[in-house]
Amino acid sequence: MTEPRHFDLHYGGRWQKPLSAERMDVRSPATGALLATVPVAGPADVEAAAQAAQDAFDGGWARMDALDRARPLRALADLLRARMGELAELESAVTGRPIREMRAQMGRIPEWIEYFAAIAIGLEAESNHVKGGFVTMTAYEPHGVCALLTPWNHPVLILVKKLAAALAAGNCVLVKPSELAPVSPLVLADWAIEAGLPPGTINVVTGAGATGALTCDAAPVRRIDLTGGTRTGRIVAARAGERLIPCTLELGGKTPVLVFADAALDEAVAGAAFAAFVAAGQTCVSASRFLVQRPIYDEFCDRLAAKADAIRLGDPADPATDMGPVISAGARARCLDFIEKAKAAGSRLIAGGTPPDLPAPFDAGHYLRPTIFADVAPDSHLFQEEAFGPVISITPFETEEEGLRLANDSAFALGAAVWTRDVARAHRLTRSIRAGVLWVNDHHKNDPRSIWGGFDASGWGKENGWDALRSYLRKRSIVIRTASQYDDWFAGKGRYG
């Protein structure tokens, strides 16, 4: 993006002039340059966009056969595949994530759409002949208009995970992307029309938390799906509770990684650097609490620190760049505060800790060197709170029981990983670590077929898989009498229940 672009809202199948006069800037986290401006949608904008979604739902999308819905969805997948390079550049410019990362991620986006379009065709309901002469049938139906509230760290991936399941199930969506990265969701809504999705199936309103709150409150909205921070999750869940509409909450994390003395150390160190510092540590499952068994503790710390020091920070558009900035000045200030608190708590800084020295214009970006603290106490701020940036902790443990206890010492329960060559231990631990997504000898790997979601302070509900498709459907029970005669209860016949 060379010249700043000034976007309108996108709903009802086209760009729409906002009714609210307020706008907000979208700036490059790498340089501070203005990339775009977007409207701050107010009540009338959100109402109009929600109505456009309701009209599309009533207008036929919900009643179409899954086979017919699959065609435009597959066309959208094809279009995204063809424009993968453009999409990756957009994502990289707005999020500051290196182009190499975004090319890899964008390359897989169409799979989510193809997957949900396909399994929706395969959705089968059940039917039973039951006692007393009845056939009972189950039937699925979409909820209606679904509000999708998304974060900035994977603007397209997280949106598409939700949107593909919602649309394949016959819902229409009202999207409120993050105020920090609203550009690609707007562009995607426009491309969806080009691909043949009916107007009003995807509607995007931009703005910050206040617009998100309006979205949750919009009368047509029948279901909410949020990926965001735990604080936002509590607010959105309360609102959904007030309205008695279902919601899914994909929230924060504090992912533990257990490294045992029997692990392949080269792989564990390489895996640790990837787990912690890809996306500059800004994913909900970024490895942030390393628990390392005592016999390899010192060597692991030394080797991971050297690996972190070798990570190249710089221009996100350069394919040689390993790590970009964090998303905002506020995000970097929060990370620096974690660093100060960790030092004050007596943890040992073994890598990073300061912003790098970069040439202009990147000296104005929100960069922070990959930062590692060793000897971190389990009751410390760094061990317990989500930094959402490249600041990680390492803590030693002696026995499997102690490692497990430390892994579970968290309010969050989203991701976890175990590095070991002992198959039995891997099985034991993946059954007893409190987390919704677990890896053995790897990290971050994700697939449309592999369910995704956490527990406790990390939220509830699942993305991916049949679970996600079914969560976008309501299931009903239909009971049909097959017995030839009705049993008149007040004439002394029949069964109750």
Does residue 176 belong to the site contacting ligand NAD (CB under 6 A)?
Answer: yes
Q: Which of 199, 209, 246, 378 binds ligand NAD (CB under 6 A)?
A: 209
Instruction: Give residue number: closest CB to ligand NAD.
Output: 212
Catalytic residue among 114, 161, 162, 247: 162
Which residues from 436-455 bind ligand NAD, rule CB under 6 A? 454
Does the protein bind ligand NAD through residue 251 (CB under 6 A)? yes
C-alpha 199/C-alpha 49 separation (Å) is 11
* 91 lines the binding site for ligand NAD (CB under 6 A): no
Q: Which of 134, 225, 174, 263 has the alpha carbon at shortest distance from 461?
A: 225
Q: Is 247 in the site for ligand NAD (CB under 6 A)?
A: no
Residue number with CB closer to ligand NAD (179 or 315): 179
Dist. CA 380–CA 265, nearest whole Å: 27
Amino acid at 214: L
Residue 378 per-residue DSSP state = T
By C-alpha distance, which of 325, 255, 251 is closest to 287? 255
User: CA-CA distance, 48 to 40, in Å (whole number)?
Assistant: 14
Q: Can you point out the beta strands (E) in 75-220?
A: 127-130, 134-142, 145-149, 172-176, 202-204
On whether the CB atoms of residues 329 and 295 are closer than 8 A, the answer is no
Stretch that binds ligand NAD, among 26-34, 48-56, 129-137, 209-217 (CB under 6 A): 209-217
CB of 390 to ligand NAD, least distance (A): 14
Neighbours of 290 (CB within 10 A): 29
Does the footprint of ligand NAD cover residue 338 (CB under 6 A)?
no
Cβ proximity to ligand NAD: between 142 and 182 the closer is 182
Q: Return d(Cα 281, Cα 285) in angstroms, integer.
A: 9
Is 242 tagged catalytic?
A: no
**Is residue 172 annotated as part of the catalytic site, yes or no?**
no
Q: Kindly state whether residue 235 participates in binding ligand NAD, applying the rule CB under 6 A.
A: yes
Please tell me the count of residues contacting ligand NAD according to CB under 6 A. Answer: 31
- Of 303, 398, 405, the closest CA to residue 350 belongs to 303
Catalytically annotated residue among 114, 250, 301, 307: 250
Q: Which of 87, 268, 414, 416 binds ligand NAD (CB under 6 A)?
A: 414
Q: Is 172 in contact with 59 (CB distance < 8 Å)?
A: no
Choosing from 146, 216, 247, 284, the catalytic residue is 284
Tokens of 130: 């039951």
Q: Which residue lies nearer to ligand NAD by CB, 158 or 301?
A: 158
Q: How far is the CB of 459 from ligand NAD (least distance, A)?
A: 6
| Residue 402 falls in the annotated catalytic set | no
Classify burial at 219, counting beta carbons within 10 Å of its beta carbon; exposed 0-12, middle 13-18, buried 19 or more: exposed
Cβ-based nearer residue to ligand NAD, 47 or 386: 386
Residue 284 falls in the annotated catalytic set:
yes
> Per CB under 6 A, which region of 221-229, 258-266, 269-277, 342-350 contacts ligand NAD?
221-229
Q: Which residue has the tokens 């299931």?
A: 475
CA atoms within 13 A on the CB side of 119: 20
- What residues are labeled active site? 162, 250, 284, 463
Residues that bind ligand NAD (CB under 6 A): 149-153, 158, 176-179, 208-209, 212-213, 216, 226-229, 232, 235-236, 250-253, 284, 386, 388, 414, 454
